[in-house]
Structure formats: structure tokens, C-alpha cells
Chain A
Amino acid sequence: QSALTQPPSASGSPGQSVTISCTGTSSDVGGYNYVSWYQQHPGKAPKLMIYEVSKRPSGVPDRFSGSKSGSTASLTVSGLQTEDEADYYCTSYAGSNSWVFGGGTKLTVL
């Protein structure tokens, strides 16, 4: 069970869009539509932003969207705002009631 691969960092200016990738294998991301994304501000618990690849929980702005192609999932943040600056983690179901996280991406709003 290897960690999903995310870029260590991403950045964008206010108002721009940024996309963060999450690459796995056919045993996790590619095999199931159970990819979720979490936002974590420093010293805080992770917060669910996207689930089942592209669904948004109540209260999450529609600036956040998710997608998947093959074994790579993506989180897109449109209309970047300063409060979007945070760490973002993906996770995927990996079969047999197991879960795997990505290494995390630090999003900087320039």
C-alpha cells in the first residue's frame, strides 16, 4: 500500500485557478470512485472538501471541484482566495476496507 503521489507545492494569484493532481494505481484511485480531498490549515484538523471524486459537502464553495481520469484524480480551485492557502490531501479507497492518503500539496496564494 503506497502513498498516492501529489506535487509538494502549487501556487496561484487571487482570482486564478489552480489544479492539484493525485496519482495512484488501478488498485486505488483507478479502481474506485471513492477519492476525497481535504483542506488543512496550520494547526487545524483536516476538512473534507470533495468526496466520491467530485461531490461537494454542504457548505463547501463551488469554487472547489474534483475529477478523475484513469488513476489520477484532480482538485481544482477556481477564483483563488487568500483563505484557500492551506495544505491539501487526497485519499482513496484501496480495497479490503483500507485507505491510502496522498503526501499532501501546499497551496500558496501569491
Chain B
Amino acid sequence: QLQLQESGPGLLKPSETLSLTCTVSGGSVSSRTYYWGWVRQPPGKGLEWIGSADYSESTYYNPSLKSRVTISVDTSKNQFSLRLTSVTAADTAVYYCARLELQFDFWGQGTLVTVSS
């Protein structure tokens, strides 16, 4: 069974860079069938697609975040990563990694990232 697990710092200061990693087990990020994506959820609010990448590192980003986001795939470690620069309090959210085909079919448990001075 495919499993995804997010990891990374839970507390950042404004202007710092958010870096999260999603480790995939029970499947391969090298698959040509799937994309690998990030979705976030501010406390008490709805879900927001951040972006997606495939094994060849073709990347696609939410236009509202595009200037600050980078998603990369490391096939040697079977991981993919999210980098979000210049964070503010508005970036405080639970960040989920997920497998994406034409739907987000497997999700990580999520990790809370808080931005506070």
C-alpha cells in the first residue's frame, strides 16, 4: 500500500524559507503515470493546491504562489520536496503531500507549519 510522509520544520519566522520533504513508500516517484503534489490547509479553512511535479521534474504551480514555490523530485531517495520562500503568517497551514493522477488518490498525514516571529 502506498504511503506518504511529510517531514520538515514546524516553526518558521517571517521571511524565512519553508522546506518540506515527502517520503514515498510502497510505490515509486519514478512512475510515469503519476504526478506528485502539495496541498495546504490554513487552520479552519479550505484546501489549496500548491503545485505538482513528475519524475522528469516537469513542474506546475498555483499562479498565486508561483513566484515563491519550487517543487523537486529526488528519484534516488524516492522523495519529493516543497520549497516556499519569503513566508508570512498567511503561509501558516497544514501542508499535505499527495499522489496525483487525475485526482489526489493518496495523501500524507499532513504537517503543521507555523510562521510566527
A interface list, Cβ under 8 A from B: 1, 3, 34, 36, 38, 45-48, 51-52, 57, 89, 91, 93, 96-104
Shortest distance from the beta carbon of A103 to any chain B beta carbon, whole Å: 5
Report the number of A-B residue pairs with Cβ-Cβ less than 8 Å.
Answer: 61
- CB pair B103 A34 closer than 8 Å: yes
Q: In the complex, what's the smallest C-beta–C-beta distance from A49 to chain B, in angstroms?
A: 10
A98 touches B49 (CB 8 A): yes
Determine if B90 is an interface residue (Cβ-Cβ < 8 Å).
Answer: no
Chain A proximity mask over B101-113: 1 for CB below 8 Å, otherwise 0? 0111101111000
- Residue pair A51, B64 in contact (C-beta under 8 Å): no
Do residues A101 and B49 form an inter-chain contact, with CB atoms below 8 A?
yes
**B contact set with A: CB distance below 8 Å:** 35, 37, 39, 46-49, 52, 58, 60, 62-64, 96, 100, 102-105, 107-110
Q: How far is the CA of A47 from the CA of B62 in the complex (A)?
A: 22
Interface centre among A3, A45, A51, A52 (most CB of B within 10 A): A45
State A20–B81 Cα separation when bound (angstroms): 34
- Complex contact B104–A97 (CB within 8 A): no
Q: List 7 A-B contacts (CB under 8 A).
A: A1-B63, A34-B102, A36-B103, A45-B107, A47-B107, A48-B104, A48-B105
Question: Is A104 touching B47 in the complex (CB atoms < 8 A)?
Answer: yes
Asked whether B103 lies within 8 Å of A48 as measured between CB atoms, the reply is yes
Q: Which of A51, A97, A103, A104 has the most CB of B within 10 A?
A: A97
Q: How far is the CB of A100 from chain B (nearest CB, A)?
A: 7
Q: Shortest distance in angstroms between B71's beta carbon and chain A's nearest beta carbon?
A: 12
Residues of B within 8 A of A51 (CB): 102-103, 105
